[in-house]
Amino acid sequence: MRRRWVLLITLLFVFLVLAVPAFADVPVVYQEYPAVRVIVNGQEVNGGILMDGRTMVPLRAISELLGLNVQWDATTNTVYISSPAAGAPQKPVPVPAQDVIRIGLIAPLTGDLKTYGQSVKNGFALALEEKKYRAGTFKLEGVIVDDRNNATEAVNGAMKLIKQDRVSAIVGSVTSLITIPLATVAQENGVLLITPTATNPRVTVDNGRRRDCVFRACFVDPLQGTAAATFALDKLKAGTAAVLYDRGNAYSAGLAQKFKEAFEKGGGRVTVYEAYVSSNEDFTPVLKDIARQKPSILYFPDYYFKAGQIGRQGRALGIAATFMGGDGWDSPDIDWQAMKGGYFTTHWSSSDPRPEVREWVNRYKARFGAEPDMFAALAYDATRILLQAIETAASRDPAAIKEAMQNMKEFPAVSGMISGFDLDGNPVKAMAVMQIKDGKAVFVTNVMPGKGE
């Protein structure tokens, strides 16, 4: 054990002194990430120093590999590390009472997608509150984990929820890039996972095999890309299109591929089909080529911050094409001016005229003082779907909850009536098409993928 502590202290020294030192006058964040204090066996390590929150991923992994106890206090951004006494029995993990079901939430509450994560957290909370933290005869407890849009953080968080908190199900995460490894953990541990917004097919299907513990409340990338191409051809009467996508992002690449396939199958011509890496900030070379080609549509399905960069640079170069994208554009922080006139597919719109939508929007605004986005709506739907499955199953057993969810029919979701789940765990429902106009996203129409309007 002594050798373990020598190694641990050495590693802590590297992290604290060589990697990300910050002085004590830094309040609660450092370089936009939560600052973290480290307590080892009751003593704060170098009390005048804070750590950048990103270092917690390797620090926790290394500590656990050394057989140390690691506890994380999210309220104070503190990690507690301790060694069990020699020969002492391990402290048993507390389990929920028989009438209590714990539900985990994993979402990016900090980092570059924090606006998505906060909306998801709000939707999750509202669903539990409206059900008074009950599902049938069970009391409900929510346990929240911040994945910071980092796959390692998400996996570590899921293992904590499963092994330590003993959750029966997890809602999360937000992006496909994070949720695909999260789905592997859920499947391997037999814990139900329902993602509000991760749209890549690989979330629920791994190499052709269904992950039967994993579901989603949103539609999948193939349908979104196909619907966007159909709308461009039928409603915008577009004949040519250029496509840009992030090759390292399963979400972006998936939408781009299906858009191209459907657009060309429908008689359109894709004049430019180019990939970039997420670290790119200068898109001038490819945008100049697109400007020369003069396509009717420029389709670039990425998240709002990257889409804004491409949109600003494209307009500056004189590109007159109609911009189109996916649900990653659905954020209050998108560059409204640069994306003016563009269209995007999404799962839901707060301006949908359906009465049930108007009523829910009013309840959300009364609770949180803000207009809900589709991330809030889908997190609300995902949580309510889960609660309905628990009530139907009348059990805390993940297998029973899973079966109830797979057999669910005609569920009245805020994002649209769900007639059921297909064999891959995807909901059968319509999607919305939005237009960016007058500094906001305006509802255009609902489209049932593959069936027209």
Reduced to 3 states (helix: H, G, I; strand: E, B; else coil), residue 401 is helix
Q: Rounded mean pLDDT of 254-260?
A: 94
Contacts 24+ apart (CB under 8 A), 27-35: 28/77, 32/110, 32/111, 33/110, 33/111, 33/148, 34/77, 34/110, 35/77
Sorting pLDDT into bands at 50, 70 and 90, what band is 28? very low
Q: Reply yes or no on whether the pLDDT at 129 is more than 70.
A: yes
DSSP state, 17?
I
Q: Which of 442, 366, 418 is nearest to 129 (CA)?
A: 366
Q: How many percent of the chain have pLDDT more than 90?
A: 68
Angstrom CA distances, 98 to 108, 129, 137, 143, 376, stand at 31, 21, 10, 17, 30
What is the model's pLDDT at position 39?
58
**Per-residue model confidence as pLDDT tens digits over 327-348:** 889 888 999 999 999 999 988 8
Q: Kindly give the residue spans of alpha helices, DSSP state H, lying in 267-373.
A: 284-293, 304-316, 355-368
Confidence of residue 350 (pLDDT cuts 50, 70, 90): confident
Cα 83 off chain centre by: 35
| pLDDT exceeds 90 at position 250 | no
Judged against a pLDDT cut of 70, whether residue 291 lies above it is answered with yes
**Higher confidence at residue 17 or residue 151?**
151
Using CA atoms, how far apart are residues 150 and 223, in angstroms rounded to an integer?
26
Q: What is residue 19's predicted lDDT score, i.e. its pLDDT? A: 42
């604290």: which residue's tokens? 16
- Give the mean pLDDT of 367-383: 95
In this structure, of 291-300, 311-320, 396-405, 438-447, the range with the lowest mean pLDDT score is 438-447
pLDDT tens digit string along 167-215?
999 999 999 999 999 999 999 999 999 999 998 899 999 999 999 999 9
Q: What is the pLDDT of residues 66-111, one digit of tens each?
A: 556 565 555 445 565 655 544 444 445 456 777 999 999 999 999 9
Spatial contact of 100 and 141, defined as CB atoms under 8 Å apart? yes
Question: Is there a contact between 171 and 124 (Cβ–Cβ < 8 Å)?
Answer: yes
pLDDT score recorded for residue 330: 85
